Structure 1
Amino acid sequence: MSEIDIEQYKITEEPFYQAQEDEVELYQAAYESRLPMMVKGPTGCGKSRFIEHMAWKLGKPLITVACNEDMTASDLVGRYLLDAGGTRWLDGPLTIAARIGAICYLDEVVEARQDTTVVIHPLTDHRRTLPLDKKGEQVTAHDHFQLVISYNPGYQSLMKDLKQSTKQRFVGLDFDYAPSQVEADIVAKEAGIDTETAMKLVKIGETARNLKGHGLDEGISTRLLVYAANLMNKGIAPNKACRMALVRPITDDADIRGTLDHAIDAIFA
């Protein structure tokens, strides 16, 4: 196997993350114990940014995998490939992370098929190994390796959830949208806008989140609030920026759109 360039997986600049409670200290304790970590929360509330921040803070390489329903076990662990020189083995991201001692972050892991997620089990108990059955090799995880998974428990159907045998291999942290003032500070920092405007955006976000389960599957994420602020920074009128970033992407329902559009007009009157 050729030498892996670990530096390509390291985060060189500090990702901005505004801590809400003691999640930084809790994660650090879990990492020091090499405990597998599960982060749970709604879309766009900062789960991925938090993991990036912690990888930077700990000085560890980070390998992120965006999970989807077509992902196979081979996509995670590796496969044989044919090239001009014959057959060669190519490690998957999970295998690379286990070899080099990276944090492997499986984003929205519940989207992957359950027969795929089973391959992580030996890495999440006392064995800390990854069997490569097709290659006839068993990889022992590097001392610095940690597995992290995320998912949105409020957006999963009964057919899309983690098995208890998987859940009970992890410690967990719950994430949610930040309190109003903290979220406004985050939006202001991320987009470079004034706090007063950021607070108005947060109020729109809260209006939409109150509609979750009453016409909306998901509320407006902090990420979308930042998108709206970015559009406003480009000279787009606040009402138009909010419709474009906060309403049109999340619903096609005329009544819900009308409710949110009305809230936008009232807040940015």
Structure 2
Amino acid sequence: MADEPMLAQQNGAIATEDVMRPYYQAVGDEEIVFKAAYRQGLSLVLKGPTGCGKTRFVEAMAHDLGRPLVTVACHDDLTTADLVGRYLLRGNETVWVDGPLTRAVREGAICYLDEVVEARQDTTVVLHPLADHRRQLPIERLGVTLDAAPGFGLVVSYNPGYQSVLKDLKDSTRQRMVAIEFGFPTAEIEEQIVINESGVDRATAAELVRLGHAIRRLETGGLREVASTRVLIAAARLVCEGLTMRTAARAAIAGPLTDDVAVGRSLNEMLDVYLPDAVHD
């Protein structure tokens, strides 16, 4: 696909860029499902572990579809006003300022709510009329209801294995969306991703991926998360800076995954088994 100008918007920042397609390798039919749902005006929910490529996938889809992308990182304090907008004082007057969701609705952008279950459930209810056949956004403070501009798309994501029972997507929200489930890619695909994102050689990438798969097979409650593709890439980048593989893996993989002393010791023993302690050029 030829490179084309895109409007990129991240949490309110907006810029026009000539960009190449964000690097993403499909592992199944996720691209076909996403584009079909988008063409039909259906909203999507992406489910999968942290660091498996959900955000990069949305960036690639926005590029393929030629749509601007608005990304919102959800958190506990996210309010409806943060998404929709609020009145603010500017000089001697009070003016309305659109939130990222409202801007996406007006402009026909794809709005991506990352880790949506981190937001309060009373906040995500505002998505319901946008996510179903109405494709509308009521703005109570203005007394208006906006129809989504052509090209608007709503995408949310979360990690169902990480959040507690108290942090889950409401059934009434789920059933308005098409679901795409993500997992970690095969070793061959993951090696290529690590190579592309870090610049390491294939042998180094293969060793890091082999370690990552071994950690994912562990059954222990002391790990915050399994070793994601993201942390493997971080370790590979440190190797490119001249660190040994063990040192890079301790800093980028073992360290972030746990604070438990015993689990950390076990991970470091795995590093000694799986990784050579040599500098890779």
Query: Is TM > 0.5 for Structure 1 vs Structure 2?
Result: yes
State which of 232, 236, 260 in structure 2 corresponds to 1:229.
236
State which of 146, 163, 176 in structure 2 corresponds to 1:156.
163
Considering only aligned residues, what root-mean-square deviation do their CA atoms show, in Å?
1.3
Q: Which residue is 1:7 aligned to? A: 7
Distance 2:96 2:75 in 1: 23
The question of 1:27 aligning with 2:34 is answered: yes
The one-character-per-residue Cα deviations of 1:150-208 (angstroms, maximum 9, x if unpaired) are 00000111100011011101001000111111111110111111111111111111122
The question of 1:88 aligning with 2:95 is answered: yes
* Code of the aligned partner of 1:202: V
Give structure 1 stretches of 5+ with no counterpart. Answer: 1-5
* Code of the aligned partner of 2:101: L
The question of 1:195 aligning with 2:207 is answered: no
The one-character-per-residue Cα deviations of 1:209-262 (angstroms, maximum 9, x if unpaired) are 122554323101101100000000000111100000001111111221122111
CA contact (8 A) 2:105 2:149 kept: yes
Distance 1:238 1:8 in 2: 35
State which of 135, 144, 148 in structure 2 corresponds to 1:141.
148
The CA deviation at 1:102 is 0.3
Distance 1:8 1:150 in 2: 19
Do the aligned partners of residues 170 and 13 (structure 1) sit closer, same or farther apart at CA in structure 2, a change above 3 Å counting? same
CA contact (8 A) 1:76 1:94 kept: yes
More strand by share: 2
The CA deviation at 1:13 is 2.1
With the length of structure 1 as denominator, give the TM-score of the two structures: 0.95
* Code of the aligned partner of 1:105: Y
1:1-269 matches, cutoff 5 A:
7-9=7-9, 12-269=19-276
The CA deviation at 1:65 is 0.2
Between 129-138 and 104-113, report the one with greater CA deviation: 129-138
Between 257-266 and 169-178, report the one with greater CA deviation: 257-266
The CA deviation at 1:119 is 0.4
CA contact (8 A) 1:130 1:141 kept: yes
CA contact (8 A) 1:204 1:260 kept: no
The CA deviation at 1:8 is 4.4
CA contact (8 A) 1:129 1:138 kept: yes
| Secondary structure of the corresponding residue to residue 24 of structure 2 | coil
Work out the number of aligned pairs and report it.
264
The CA deviation at 1:7 is 3.1
| Secondary structure of the corresponding residue to residue 257 of structure 2 | coil
* Code of the aligned partner of 1:49: R
Do the aligned partners of residues 86 and 148 (structure 1) sit closer, same or farther apart at CA in structure 2, a change above 3 Å counting? same
The one-character-per-residue Cα deviations of 1:76-128 (angstroms, maximum 9, x if unpaired) are 00000011140100000000000000000000000000000000111011111
With the length of structure 2 as denominator, give the TM-score of the two structures: 0.91
Distance 2:258 2:176 in 1: 36
Do the aligned partners of residues 174 and 61 (structure 1) sit closer, same or farther apart at CA in structure 2, a change above 3 Å counting? same
| Secondary structure of the corresponding residue to residue 154 of structure 1 | coil
CA contact (8 A) 2:8 2:69 kept: no
* Code of the aligned partner of 2:222: G
CA contact (8 A) 2:208 2:275 kept: no
The CA deviation at 1:25 is 1.1
| Secondary structure of the corresponding residue to residue 28 of structure 2 | coil
CA contact (8 A) 1:36 1:124 kept: yes
* Code of the aligned partner of 1:137: V
Distance 1:74 1:249 in 2: 33
